[in-house]
Structure 1
Amino acid sequence: MSAVWKYFKINEDNPRIADCKLCSAKLSRGGTKISSYNTSNLIKHLKLKHKSEHGEFTAIGSSSSTQQSTLQQTFARREKLSRDNPRAVQITEALTQFIILDDQPLSIVENMGFHQFLNVLEPKYDIPSRHYITDIILPKIHDTVKKHINIMLQKDIKAISFTTDIWSSSVSPLSLISLTAQWIDGEFSLHQVMLHATKFEGSHTGQAIANILEEMLQTWAIPKSSVHVVVRDSAKNMIKGMEVAGLPSISCVAHTLQLAVSEGLLSQRSIADAVGVGRRIIGHFKHSNLAYSRLQDIQIQLGQPVRRLQQDVQTRWNSTFYMLKSLIEQKRALGVYVSEYELPATIIANQWNLMEKMVNILAPFEEMTRQVSCSDAFASDVIPAVTVLQKVLAKVDEDQGIKTMKSTLLAALQKRFSDTERNPLYCIATLLDPRYKDSFFCNSDTSREAKEMLVLELQNIFEETIESEQHEEPASKRPHRDQPGTSLDSLFAEIAGEGSSTSESSAPKAATIQLEAYLGEITVPRSEKPLKYWAVHKVRFPTLAKMAQKYLSAPCSSVESERLFSLASNVLTDSRNRLMAEHAEMLLFLKKNLPLTFKK
């Protein structure tokens, strides 16, 4: 807008007239149409009648550039930014990060709507081709993130724990084997990174698994001596692969619970029949929108919340638990439905009763599975989890059917976890967890043996810290705060209060002084974080803290690898089913690790 309007305003009654603010004179704006309006009369009026204001107006006009742009300047404004222009580089990197983090197909850069969107945001930006992003930008960002991970791995790390798993795509003929790493730094912060999701060709033999794992470790220059443990599933080829590679390994506790529940409960004929009927009914609704619409109408009529029935996955027992629970919640609605419409199967009264008993028995297992599947669950959680579940199943029940179910499930649980309390990794990790210590072992003998394992480990590193140990202050007592948050927390608190806190090891006294002081304290509440405890108490118990840094680095499940492959199913989709293996791994690597490079 011209600066002359500082002295004029448009007439309220006639927009073709401008009123002078200085003398109230009415002046024509120069035409009858908006397109012909101008300010010539207004400027002339200022020059003739208000010379001082005209001089002010002229000064304002000269200070702002009113010169017409040259042809060269006009073309320069229309030119696209070059690829090496800082602004273009910034946009291209942000665009690639958007594709990576939000699981967008690389072909999005070819879509008309996306072109229009970016053209509005930055008309001068020339959108690169998918091949330029794949061949130039992705490797560039990958190298940057890889260097960042390498720097992280070069810091003072006592031990690194890993998870691994094998996954096959349902949309392309591609199998991937994963390797994720986690460790605890000197400040007792937990770090988790993905190292590989490598293409796995040929037969999945133990030797092949061993070879590819060794290659992946060599890529990152990680010596086997730094490997604390590898968490894997219970498949024979995976166990064999670890043995051939000479890597210490443990089974994923979530997979082991799956096998225990499947063998001890779901394999029973009457239960398998009831579950099978439930699957057929839910399958009917899954494949018929009309049937689901009718069921929703019935739910509304009964005043129930409108919810869909959940289909289970036979390889995950907890999904069967959720399926049975959803059926029981819709028992009334299904009863009304079957009275009006047909179903492929009918749940009889005995089967309803059986399902309700199963849900009650499996509820603690489902809760425990969720807890051990958390990203911050440690190997120290395994022995306490098994002890609590055994105690739940050992409780006497008057119902003979429930009693039988519990006994068979207890036998399967004891069979699958029979060696847990003889495994040094589980035993030492449990002792070094301030929430558990020596309270959750099945008897005093196993508790004593676990402490002897820990003392032997202490002796190996005690010499280098003995000087500092002599000046340590005596351990202070900490009050136990009972803060039950779930149905199982009260049992954890009860067992923790029953345990003995004295060590009768015959090992040298010097090696046990820290251990005795540490075990002499009451366990901290289960709601507290063990790493937070050690970050505070590493000065009081320096030798034990070093061991905690090593043993608590081990996860108790391979959930990190499973979550990685959940991401893989988003990367390899129907719209990206031709993605090459190396590009898929690159996208997964960046999807998982790129946020680690962002400034907090």
Structure 2
Amino acid sequence: MIENMLLDWKIKKENLSEITTDNASNMKKAFELFPCVWFPCFGHNLNLAISKVLKIPRVESATRACRHLFQGFSRSWKCKRELQKKQAELNIPEHSLIHDVVTRWGSTFEMISRFLEQQQAICDRSTWHLMPKDTDITVLEKLSQLLCPLLDFTDVLASEKQVTLTSLNPVLEHNNNEILQDQEEDCALTKQMKAVIREDLLMQRRYPEEIKNVLNISSFVDPRFKGSFAENLDDTVKACSDEAMALASHPDTEDPLASTTQSSVRTSSTTTKKSLSGLLQQITSAKKNRSQASAHEMPSIQERIDSEIKLYVSLPAISADSDPLAWWKAHVEDIPMLSQVARKYHGFPATSVPSERVFSASGHIISPHRSRLSTENVNMLTFLHCNMN
């Protein structure tokens, strides 16, 4: 089926560089025979790790109590009315209660956050029998403190308009060394929850050598990080050099230096006047361009790649909030070979969330009032929805 879809879009299987899916065994098996790197979705990896935290008995009991409380409010219009009165009296944001979806930890976090926000308004004599115990509330507070920063990273890495995979190495290192690192003030439960996530997100477990190599190269060609987050900088530089050589040797890859020279020759020839002086100027300009081209052709491709990497490393890193794509656009003529590597790796997504958004968009397009749309029209409307600003 996948190969048929590629044929429909006229995409050659050999031209695929990377495929990001969730960690389902059928997904992994489906792409084993593809000549590209299969990358596990970071969001799914994190979801699996946090799901194990939510199965810790104390955590599971606390979240279940919160869930039952919210279900009680959803079934009683009197409780909803009293909640609105309490919110107004206590000057608490008049937010409705959120129910979680057990397969999505983000919804569980939102449910817990809403409970902690509305705790004073919810605590009423008529609902005391539904309220979680004090020990459960303490567990919910500790869980919320742990999950809050992790949710921020998940949302950022699910972006469709920004480079995401290049940031995964810094995010994983920050998670392990900062967010999931045990602190003196942490209670035993917090340390247990951190240990569960930390162990499940280990690079050796979730990311084999081939994938770690992709992560190292992608972060290296990001001018915000360069070699700051590479496990072994020398090995990463060597892998990046090999990748640049492979792209330069690919028959579909055009030599950026040659194309620049040819375009300059064409530009100069079209702008000169059809006169003797203009023809002489064109002749001398062409001779100068040939001399420059021959001078550029003297070093081998490997030497050009090595010199570009040295130049790239010597340039100062840009700020973390800068756009790496804009930086490469400004430096593509100075570092043409390495820019091809950046162009390839900057397009890899860190999560499979964008593809899931496509299915959500289709669900909004097809409704009971629009149930007779043809398959072709649904595909076109979905395409327009996802690609028009």
Shift of 1:561: 1.2
Partner residue of 1:314? 102
Deviates more, 1:225-234 or 1:457-466: 457-466
In the alignment, the residues of structure 2 paired with residue 510 and residue 590 of structure 1 have an alpha-carbon distance, to the nearest angstrom, of 42
Distance 1:344 1:563, change over 3 A: farther
Count of aligned pairs: 340
Deviations along 1:371-414, one digit per CA (max 9) or x if unpaired, are: 10111242212111111111121252323322222222211221
Partner residue of 1:533? 327
Secondary structure class of the residue paired with 1:231: strand
Residue pairs, 1:317-396, within 5 angstroms: 317-335=105-123, 337=124, 339=125, 341-342=126-127, 345-375=130-160, 376-392=162-178, 393-396=180-183
Secondary structure class of the residue paired with 1:374: coil
> Quick one: which amino acid aligns to residue 150 of structure 2?
F
> Quick one: which amino acid aligns to residue 368 of structure 2?
D
Deviations along 1:191-235, one digit per CA (max 9) or x if unpaired, are: xxxxxxxxxxxxxxxxxxxxx111111112211122121211111
> Quick one: which amino acid aligns to residue 519 of structure 1?
V
In the alignment, the residues of structure 2 paired with residue 342 and residue 362 of structure 1 have an alpha-carbon distance, to the nearest angstrom, of 28
Match of 1:222 among 11, 25, 29: 11
Does the CA contact (< 8 Å) of 2:223 and 2:324 recur in 1? Answer: yes
Secondary structure class of the residue paired with 2:222: coil
Distance 1:297 1:456, change over 3 A: same
Match of 2:242 among 431, 452, 456: 456
Partner residue of 1:587? 381
> Quick one: which amino acid aligns to residue 552 of structure 1?
H
In the alignment, the residues of structure 2 paired with residue 426 and residue 465 of structure 1 have an alpha-carbon distance, to the nearest angstrom, of 26
Deviations along 1:515-550, one digit per CA (max 9) or x if unpaired, are: 122123332111111101101111111111111111
> Quick one: which amino acid aligns to residue 449 of structure 1?
D
Secondary structure class of the residue paired with 1:394: coil
In the alignment, the residues of structure 1 paired with residue 317 and residue 353 of structure 2 have an alpha-carbon distance, to the nearest angstrom, of 27
Match of 1:275 among 59, 63, 70: 63
Deviations along 1:46-95, one digit per CA (max 9) or x if unpaired, are: xxxxxxxxxxxxxxxxxxxxxxxxxxxxxxxxxxxxxxxxxxxxxxxxxx
Q: Which has the higher contact order (CA 8 A, sep 6+)?
A: 2
Residue pairs, 1:59-78, within 5 angstroms: none
Residue 563 (1) aligns with residue 357 (2):
yes
Does the CA contact (< 8 Å) of 2:216 and 2:229 recur in 1? Answer: no
Distance 1:561 1:229, change over 3 A: same
Structure with the largest fraction of helix:
2
Residue 406 (1) aligns with residue 194 (2):
yes
Secondary structure class of the residue paired with 1:522: coil
Over aligned residue pairs, what C-alpha RMSD do you find? Answer: 2.6
Compute the TM-score of the two structures, normalised by the length of structure 1: 0.53
Distance 1:420 1:279, change over 3 A: farther
Does the CA contact (< 8 Å) of 1:280 and 1:344 recur in 2? Answer: no
Partner residue of 2:269? none
Partner residue of 2:50? 261
Residue 304 (1) aligns with residue 92 (2):
yes
In the alignment, the residues of structure 2 paired with residue 530 and residue 421 of structure 1 have an alpha-carbon distance, to the nearest angstrom, of 24
Residue 250 (1) aligns with residue 39 (2):
yes
Match of 1:432 among 217, 221, 228: 221
In the alignment, the residues of structure 1 paired with residue 327 and residue 217 of structure 2 have an alpha-carbon distance, to the nearest angstrom, of 17
Larger Rg computed on CA atoms: 1
Question: Among the aligned pairs, what percent are the same residue?
Answer: 27
Distance 1:344 1:221, change over 3 A: farther
Match of 2:80 among 263, 287, 292: 292
Distance 1:266 1:511, change over 3 A: same
* Uncovered stretches (5+) of structure 1, i.e. residues with no partner: 1-211, 472-507
Does the CA contact (< 8 Å) of 2:13 and 2:34 recur in 1? Answer: no
In the alignment, the residues of structure 2 paired with residue 420 and residue 280 of structure 1 have an alpha-carbon distance, to the nearest angstrom, of 44
Distance 1:327 1:386, change over 3 A: same
Distance 1:245 1:459, change over 3 A: closer
Does the CA contact (< 8 Å) of 1:364 and 1:389 recur in 2? Answer: no
